[in-house]
Copies of this chain bind each other. A is one copy, B any other.
């Protein structure tokens, strides 16, 4: 159809070229996209027909799958891939947990991220099909064809007296250039299994390394070394080093080589281009080398080792919980510069809650009472006010809030608060011990949520926090992915509590995602 040009003047401010026919004016979507923040693209349908698909939001809601319990999956965390996130520098060699760069580029351990890492692997463990796994060396049923390179290198299999299993004892030069004990991995399996797991006992500076082939336009080969060092990650040309820290005695080490290569490449300008889009199918493990003196056992290659990562996170929480039962965050956080700031060492109710959710699941899975004790101790900070270094804040009218960011004045972040409630729920449901006050803290928190939830409802979306109420700045609208997080959380809570405010709010907030606003007066 023939259309003519007509200028469209928007609020007397800007002009955009539109089209018109007799009865209608047509506005370019590129303008609508930026003006209204809606999304659209031409899609080809199966029958070849092209349609323009307009979506009000770019995010989606995850409906609860099955009945929630403290031992079930946690929301939709099976879809999380925490370690792949850009703000994760790498997985530490020393503790097997993600290192965050979100608020400090040098990297630090962020308990929320570590808990989410562990919870995501717990959920993947429950929801994914069983991973492929090949035993490479167990000193007994499966014996690798180890090659001894260099005059001083040796390898033997013995029964270890502390673990009562057969282990592989090795001795080789500490420097790989002078020799090593090497096992080819190229023919171990037809699949590309990229998660290496082994038990490791080092005498002195023992190390192991994996040589990896990356096939893209050009084939590249890198070697990832796991060495006795406190340095997190170092890259020298094609040699990648992860520090294992100080270790005494046997320890289980699980490394996802896809992640280890990907993180090394993205941290290194020279490698970043060559290793653009590192993906599972482009990688192949060529060999495993041992240097120095030590022992290894139970060497496997697998498509995934979710429970290993889960326990790496849970054990990090055990090791790093402090006297107050908390996991303090070692970097400052500037929510609004000069107005809402937290100095290094602050606690987060969300960290406490997510840790509880993880620890309760670890207690369930392992039966080890240390995890449950740690979860119970994590509640102490909920009864200490933010102004006293805790995480408790008050909305006028004595409404208690558990603060993700315990700033002064208060911030009242919604999603972090609900995560803290879920942690309390998991603990109070799982624990038979009434000595912790998780039940009371949860009940108080749920009352607060029902009281304040309407204040996050804007009639067309939700607010991330209540900073506008406490600091008189503009309201902080939740972007769509936080809006869907809110809805996903509310749907979960609605399955636990019949108060209609939870389900009606979730439904209304879902409607907002299709552009259905609340009525005006």
Residues of A within 8 A of B (CB): 1-3, 5-13, 18-20, 24-30, 32, 35-37, 40, 42, 49-56, 395-399, 451, 454-455, 457-461, 463-466, 468-469, 472, 474-479, 482, 500-501, 504, 508, 513-515, 517-521
Contact = CB atoms under 8 A, between A and B. Distances in A.
Closest 7 CB pairs between A and B? A396-B397, A26-B26, A458-B458, A477-B520, A474-B518, A459-B475, A454-B468
Contacts of A2: 2
9 contacts: A1-B19, A12-B55, A18-B52, A24-B29, A24-B30, A455-B469, A476-B521, A477-B518, A479-B520
Contacts of A451: 396
Given A18-B26, A24-B30, A11 B55 contact: yes
Given A474-B508, A519-B474, A8 B399 contact: no
A459 B455 contact: no
A3 B24 contact: no
Contact of A26 (B19, B55, B508, B520): B19
Contact of A25 (B28, B454, B518): B28
Nearest to A52: B8
B25 A3 contact: no
Given A51-B6, A396-B397, A514-B11, A457 B475 contact: yes
A222 to B, nearest CB: 38
Contacts of A500: 472
Given A10-B54, A11-B513, A458-B475, 14 more contacts: A1-B3, A6-B51, A7-B49, A11-B54, A25-B52, A36-B515, A454-B472, A454-B475, A459-B461, A459-B474, A474-B508, A475-B518, A477-B519, A477-B521
Nearest to A56: B11
A460 B460 CA distance: 9
Nearest to A470: B454
A216 B474 CA distance: 54
Contact of A395 (B36, B49, B396): B396
A457 B478 contact: no
A34 B419 CA distance: 38
A471 to B, nearest CB: 9
A441 to B, nearest CB: 20
Given A520-B479, A521-B482, A42 B457 contact: no
Nearest to A468: B454
A6 B26 CA distance: 12
A463 B472 contact: no
A235 to B, nearest CB: 34
Nearest to A55: B11
B476 A519 contact: yes
A469 B396 CA distance: 14
A51 B478 CA distance: 36
A470 to B, nearest CB: 8
A19 B27 CA distance: 9
A414 B460 CA distance: 20
Contacts of A520: 464, 476-479
Contact of A396 (B26, B399, B454): B399
B29 A25 contact: yes
A496 to B, nearest CB: 18
A494 to B, nearest CB: 13
Select the residue from A29, A396, A458, A461 with max chain B CB neighbours within 10 A.
A458
Nearest to A23: B30
Contacts of A19: 1, 3, 19, 26
Select the residue from A6, A19, A51, A521 with max chain B CB neighbours within 10 A.
A521
Contacts of A469: 454-455
Given A477-B520, A479-B520, A515 B11 contact: yes
B29 A464 contact: no
A104 B37 CA distance: 43
Contacts of A12: 55
Contacts of A464: 520-521
A263 to B, nearest CB: 26
B460 A9 contact: no
Contacts of A54: 8-11
Nearest to A457: B475
Contacts of A7: 49, 51-52
Nearest to A40: B25
B475 A6 contact: no
A3 B50 CA distance: 14
A38 to B, nearest CB: 9
Contact of A459 (B8, B477, B504, B508): B477
